[in-house]
Structure 1
């Protein structure tokens, strides 16, 4: 439905990618509209956009982003405690009760299913303690949004997200000292850590009739070029859900690794994931992640390789990491000025 920007409602969702008069990408399809997006459209002299009504439930109507962030974080923390009980049951009994998955993950899914614009929150969660439980839920959360950006149905997104939450359940069989250890590993330790994928498959198969979450646990470290483990599968042999969880897992691992290194870590992490999409990770999944994260940098200040401080104005849809930027009263198109690079973004 064509709607004037002044008539947009909080929570409306874009039906198509939005470009300005110069043909530069402004906002991706599926973006949830709020005051920041409306302001951006006005600045870009975009008067009409195609939208569909928002899916926010009554309990969320009127929530601004701060309220939603607090609500999601509260639900995330309650779900975290629930996930710990699932992990503990797998640790002690070698399997878990399938009904526990629905029950314990419900608080998180109740809210993320109602409002999908959480890119800033995913970044915020990257600053949290990167323990095994937190990591697993962050992967499940990221997998949900990537799946939605790829066009999966609500039910499929929830199934992919559950598989993402359970992808590391096999680590319950590892020695305690290896569960949260990030290395460097000696050869024996690394051989044991890699077994968590097979352990996860076995635990989930013993706990649930659906084999797909078990395949995701088994294959989330497989790579498109055959360099992954445990089976060295190639692109067509990897389950589509496992490809999504592999990207989500890589994203979360990198944000945890870069924690404390300053804001430059965010950009370097996105670039690293993007580059992995040309061999190891599925290109379509990586593109969905990148295309939906980078538009949120518009309006942010950035450090250029020539020492200048600039404001990101537009994204270049053909070269994600070379946007149009403004330096004082002049513009620089980094897709043309190839000798200058975007070095750091100030969030």
Structure 2
């Protein structure tokens, strides 16, 4: 039996059948779920949803004093024979609900994102191993991590992606999958896709490289770095991935992303050499996210590539990517993404640790080196958006004075400092 209620009447244990009103007015990408924790309940009550449709045969009923204008949307029917699902106990006050969408500062969300990344890496690792063994993938095996990443990006749009840029991670394939899933979700939100399409984007980002695990090689021979695999072998991962996802019963859209995420807007990509609009939208999005993470993870020389440098490099490859998709991507991560080393007008070198929503050219940074003194300085956090012009970004920092390992360690250490200060 369905009932239409006001969001203020939502209670723990209710089963949401439908959310009435524009999807942009609420933070939920699922439309059918049980209200099983206080944070979700609070989010529902505080949202701008017009009304909730609850299914009292699958969850808790509304209180008896329901106003008459919120009458049932279905004819009266006998009460369900099955008792409502029991209400789960509220979590301990100290526990954090990773499905909550309540806004968090970037610094605080870094800690949550780190735990999500750890759990997600285990799931992705298992999925890729089972694929290698010829076992099919079930959608419900990856849905939990997609939900966690989605919720993290809802709480703060920059933290998860920023964390992935600053982690030192050896398991290249699995880290790449998590990073691309988060980037795809962020980009889908920026493009204002529907909740179902956002979910599809996150799933596609997580799985579009699954074909790598099916290549007739031992990736350990390439130091677990798929980018070192000879191209004539590597290119086969697109077709292998599509065939595998189709055989696993995954959606056609997800399988097509596996096939076409290396297509390029000018027709120079593979495997089909598609051009522009002939490339499915999710595949055009994946091409940008995949290229960004690959460029930012490893450079062509000994020095790691800075995220801000990657954005500039990709901007110079304008003919390779859908211009609308790429512009939306830059809006997501910023002109100077988290983890970018910049030179300030004051002669200080700093790392970007947060974004300003109104102006991505004025992020929050942490200083670490003085060009005038030629030595490291005590780290200080500067919010360039509120510094009243006392300092500003002069350009990307030249980090060649530092050893590559020192740069990686510096980025990792400064991010940990931000997390501890939260």
Higher helix share: 1
Work out whether 1:78 is the aligned partner of 2:78.
Answer: no
Aligned to 2:395: 342
Using the alignment, how far apart are the partners of 2:138 and 2:98 within structure 1?
30
Residue 204 of structure 1: CA displacement? Answer: 0.4
Using the alignment, how far apart are the partners of 1:148 and 1:272 within structure 2?
24
Work out whether 1:281 is the aligned partner of 2:325.
Answer: no
1:133 and 1:231, CA in 2 relative to 1: closer, same or farther beyond 3 A?
same
SS in 2 for 1:93: coil
In the superposition, the TM-score normalised over structure 2's length comes to: 0.55
1:331 and 1:119, CA in 2 relative to 1: closer, same or farther beyond 3 A?
closer
Count, aligned residues: 276
Aligned to 2:303: 261
Q: Does the 8 Å contact 1:140/1:163 carry over to 2? A: yes
Q: Which moved more, 1:239-248 or 1:284-293?
A: 284-293
Decide which of 218, 226, 233 is 1:192's aligned counterpart. Answer: 233
Decide which of 208, 215, 218 is 1:176's aligned counterpart. Answer: 218
Using the alignment, how far apart are the partners of 2:284 and 2:311 within structure 1?
17
Work out whether 1:137 is the aligned partner of 2:174.
Answer: no
Using the alignment, how far apart are the partners of 2:160 and 2:322 within structure 1?
24
Residue 61 of structure 1: CA displacement? Answer: 4.2
CA deviations on 1:277-311 (whole Å, 9 max, x unpaired) are x201111111112233336679x99438x996699
Work out whether 1:167 is the aligned partner of 2:211.
Answer: no
Q: Cα RMSD over matched residues?
A: 4.2
1:288 and 1:93, CA in 2 relative to 1: closer, same or farther beyond 3 A?
same
Q: Does the 8 Å contact 2:261/2:286 carry over to 1? A: yes
SS in 1 for 2:343: strand
Residue 232 of structure 1: CA displacement? Answer: 0.9
Using the alignment, how far apart are the partners of 2:278 and 2:112 within structure 1?
39
Aligned to 1:321: none
In the superposition, the TM-score normalised over structure 1's length comes to: 0.66
User: Greater Rg, structure 1 or structure 2?
Assistant: 2
Aligned to 1:207: 248
Q: Which runs of 5+ in 1 are unaligned?
A: 1-29, 33-51, 317-323, 335-340
Using the alignment, how far apart are the partners of 1:295 and 1:102 within structure 2?
31
Q: Which moved more, 1:123-132 or 1:84-93?
A: 123-132
